[in-house]
């Protein structure tokens, strides 16, 4: 019997969910750091090497998310409402997917490493995921609700900033970019990145829903 | 103690949901009227003034939708199934989002005010939201189920018409529009508007789900 | 009293769901066969004739899906968790929608019948729906869980292959296609087809969720 099987049996069911969610948010945070490195990288080979790291992290995260769903199916008593756990798992997985998708497009489309909008959006994704880590980690003890709520408010504000940068970037793109193929490619990258921040906000809403019921 | 706090305490929980949903559908109806004004407006400044009104309405609607979610978390007994309330709130909010998004693109992309497809789609959105108001208002007493069902059937038919207009507009766009940038811009507007009618249908489905369980 | 009304009354509620889901998956399988015929068809008229068949099947499927939702609203005891039934119905309906949408674009955009990526994606959709049929049919008796699980694993693998073909096709498209309008059109087709396989995976996940709770 493997050690982790024994641990799983003796670990109270609640803690399994906390541990899995903390693993997810840690992986997503690593992915957002890798994305920041990838977009300022100039060499094509190095970009694809980072993309490969991001892909591995994304696969790892798929497995952890899948375990959350499986536990949810098996466990009768859950620490929070089942729908909230399910929605939080789904939205955090979406954040990972859109980070991976942004990275893939940057690499495959060979997009320049000096696009102001892309750099700003990558930083905003990083900030939002950092706040998500605070909020997700707070679920375990539910002691510092103030810190959790502050994190959620920040995520909302970050998402608004990302919206504005997206709108401005798209407007500038249509004005300045003469190569229509590059316009289409960059628009895809902006869109994937902006959607990543949307999904951070959705994950924040899932946590808020948990806090509201708990308080 | 503010008057609305007192009212909230003494108001039976059921009515809170009715009142909030009626506020939402009223705001969305105003937004659909503003969208119709914006798209036939020729002056750029006036368009942005209307866009700013739409943005305010959208923010107001976000707050009301958020209150529905919060009440749902706090309230033990709800007038209808929680999932139906949640889905109705989400889909009505989506309608508002896509109206705002259509308006933003019309203004930022400086799209001509005489596009037949866009004018027809804006009218269809207006008709669909008008029917949604009938259906949502009917939830309070559940007396005139016939009128509610008729409204839902009309919403379905409007969505089908919007689909056809979307397909025709896209086909014509690819044939006629020589400026590929403008093609991309207009396609985005058509798509956002068509999605708004999809979301009206989804909201109608949420109401149908409520009626089926009640009848 | 119509025969099917009498049958519905006397049929245990459980079986209604099995029968409806089997109807859905049969229709979706027919649609995936029609899609394969449509994309290799060269004559415009014949393509539109097949498109019309697909549209009819899609409408029929809408009705069956709608009946699943209605039964779900009326039935107190369901064979599986309500959310799983709802999610399975929604995702199978999404598969049908994306098959129809791919077919519509192929016909309206008059896309050549020799695109390697499109042919491969159509075959993968067909394979995935075939596996879905195995998994959905297994729900009725829940006897051969091994065969069901094998089908779900295959669906996952097919979805991964579709992802890779999508990425490669898009990359090649940006490199080779000089006509930007055609580039936009083909990208839409690839995207609709790849999303169809995503939705097959989602439907597979719904079935997995049912198996996990049953085992």
Task: Taking the CA atoms of C143, C145, C146 and C147 in sequence, report the sign of the dihedral they define.
Answer: positive
- Cβ distance C184 to A184 less than 8 Å, yes or no, reads yes
Task: Note whether B209 contacts C73, CB cutoff 8 Å.
Answer: yes
- Whether residue A8 has pLDDT greater than 60: no
CB–CB contact A167 B109 (8 Å): no
Confidence of residue C78 (pLDDT cuts 50, 70, 90): confident
% of chain B residues with pLDDT over 90: 81
Contact assignment for A212 to B73 by CB distance below 8 Å? yes
> How far apart are the CA of A68 and the nearest CA of chain C, in angstroms?
11
Burial class, B166, CB count within 10 angstroms (exposed 0-12 / middle 13-18 / buried 19+)? buried
Tokens 């300045």 locate to: A176
- Cβ distance of C73 and B170 shorter than 8 Å: no
Average pLDDT over residues A179-205: 97
Per CB-CB distance under 8 Å, the chain A contacts of B181 are: 174, 180, 183
Say yes or no to pLDDT of B138 above 70. yes
Q: How confident is residue B120, by pLDDT bands cut at 50, 70 and 90?
A: very high
Report the alpha-carbon distance of residue B179 to residue B167 in Å, rounded. Answer: 19
Which residues does B contribute to its contact with A (CB < 8 Å)?
Answer: 69-70, 73-74, 104, 108-109, 180-181, 184-185
Task: Please report, for chain C, the start and end positions of each structural domain, with discontinuous segments joined by +.
Answer: 14-214
Contact B108 A171 (CB under 8 A): yes
Residues A185, A106: contact at Cβ < 8 Å?
no
**Candidate from B167, B174, B213 with C-beta closest to C181:** B174
C109 contacts B213? CB cut-off 8 A: no
Which pTM does this prediction carry? Answer: 0.88
**Nearest CB neighbour to C70, from listed B170, B180, B212:** B212
Numbered residues of chain B with Cβ closer than 8 Å to any chain C Cβ: 167, 170-171, 174, 180, 183-184, 187, 205, 209, 212-213
Q: Which chain C residues are Cβ-neighbours of B180 within 8 angstroms?
A: 180-181, 184
Helix (H) or strand (E) holding B77: none
**Residues of B in Cβ contact (< 8 Å) with C69:** 205, 209, 212
Q: Are A70 and A174 in contact (CB under 8 A)?
A: no
| C6 has pLDDT over 50 | no
**Beta carbon pairs, A and B, within 8 Å:** 23
pLDDT of residue B7 exceeding 90? no
The model's confidence at residue A82, banded by pLDDT at 50, 70 and 90, is confident
Is the pLDDT confidence value at B11 over 80?
Answer: no
Residue C173 pLDDT > 90: yes
For residue C13, what pLDDT is reported? 57
What is the pLDDT averaged over residues A159-164?
Answer: 96
Instruction: List the subunits that have 3+ CB pairs under 8 angstroms with A.
Output: B, C
How far is it, in rounded angstroms, from Cα B160 to Cα B140?
A: 28
Element spanning C76, H or E = none
When mean pLDDT is compared across A31-35, B49-53, C32-36, C80-84, the lowest value belongs to C80-84
- CATH number, domain B14-214: 1.20.58.220
* Cβ contact C185–B174 (<8 Å): yes
**In angstroms, rounded to a whole number, what is the distance separating the alpha carbons of residues C72 and A58?**
35
Q: Pick B4 or B61 by higher pLDDT.
A: B61
Residues B209, C184: C-beta atoms closer than 8 Å:
no
Q: For C74, which of B171, B205, B212 is closest by C-beta distance?
A: B212
pLDDT digit string, tens, across residues B170-202: 999 999 999 999 999 999 999 999 999 999 999
Partner residue opposite C174 with nearest CB, options A69, A74, A181: A181
User: Across residues A153-175, what is the average pLDDT?
Assistant: 96
Task: Say whether A180 and B185 touch across the interface (CB within 8 A).
Answer: no
Task: Give yes or no for residue B13 having a pLDDT over 70.
Answer: no
CA–CA min distance C56, chain A (Å): 34
The mean pLDDT of chain A is 92
* Residue in A closest to C80 by C-alpha: A73
C-alpha angle C50-C55-C60 in degrees, rounded to nearest 5? 125
Strand, coil or helix: B199: helix
- Among chain B residues, the shortest Cα distance to C75 is held by B213
Q: Which residues of A touch C209 (CB under 8 A)?
A: 69, 73
Tens-place pLDDT, residues B71-106:
888 877 778 888 899 999 999 999 999 999 999 999
The minimal CB distance from C181 to the residues B167, B180, B212 is found for: B180
- Tell me what percent of the residues of chain C surpass a pLDDT of 70: 93
- Report pLDDT for C12: 57
Distance from CA of B101 to the nearest CA of A (A): 11
Residues of A in contact with C212 (CB under 8 A): 69-70, 73-74
CB contact under 8 A, B174 and C109: yes
Q: How far apart are CA B34 and CA B99, in angstroms?
A: 9
- In this prediction, residue A6 carries a pLDDT of 46
| pLDDT surpasses 70 at C184 | yes
Tell me the mean pLDDT in the region A144-173: 96
The answer on pLDDT for B12 being more than 60 is no
Q: Residue range A65-83: average pLDDT? A: 85
pLDDT(C10) > 90: no
Mean local confidence (pLDDT), C22-43: 98
Write the DSSP string, chain A. Answer: --HHHHHHHHS-HHHHHHHHHHHHHHHHHHHHHHHHHHHH---HHHHHHHHHHHHHHHHHHHHHHHHHHHHHHH-SS-SS-HHHHHHHHHHHHHHHHHHHHHHHHHHHTT--TT-HHHHHHHHHHHHHHHHHHHHHHHTTT---HHHHHHHHHHHHHHHHHHHHHHHHHHHHHHHH---HHHHHHHHHHHHHHHHHHHHHHHHHHHHHHHHHHH-
Pick the closest to residue B82 from A208, C89, A81, A202 (CA basis).
Answer: A81
pLDDT in tens, A189-201: 999 999 999 999 9
> Which candidate in C90, C155, C174 is best for mutational testing of the A interface (most A CBs within 10 A)?
C174
Residue B43: pLDDT above 50?
yes
Chains sharing 3 or more CB pairs under 8 A with chain C:
A, B
């Amino acid at each position: 019997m493997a050690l982790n099987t024994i641990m799983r049996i003796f670990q109270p069911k609640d803690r399994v969910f906390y541990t899995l969610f903390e693993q997810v948010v840690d992986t997503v945070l690593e992915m957002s750091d890798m994305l920041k490195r990838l977009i300022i990288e100039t060499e094509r080979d190095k970009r694809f090497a980072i993309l490969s790291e991001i892909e591995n992290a994304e696969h790892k995260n798929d497995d952890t998310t899948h375990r959350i769903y499986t536990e949810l199916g098996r466990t009768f008593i859950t620490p929070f409402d089942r729908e909230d756990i399910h929605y939080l798992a789904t939205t955090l997985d979406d954040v990972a997917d859109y980070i991976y998708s942004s990275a893939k497009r940057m690499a495959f489309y060979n997009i320049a490493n000096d696009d102001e909008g892309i750099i700003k959006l990558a930083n905003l994704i990083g900030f939002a995921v950092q706040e998500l880590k605070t909020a997700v980690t707070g679920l375990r003890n539910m002691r510092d609700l103030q810190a959790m709520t502050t994190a959620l408010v920040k995520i909302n504000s970050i998402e608004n900033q990302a919206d504005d940068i997206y709108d401005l970037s798209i407007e500038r793109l249509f004005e300045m970019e003469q190569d229509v193929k590059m316009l289409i490619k960059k628009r895809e990258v902006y869109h994937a990145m902006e959607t990543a921040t949307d999904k951070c906000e959705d994950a924040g809403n899932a946590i808020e829903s948990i806090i509201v019921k708990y308080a």
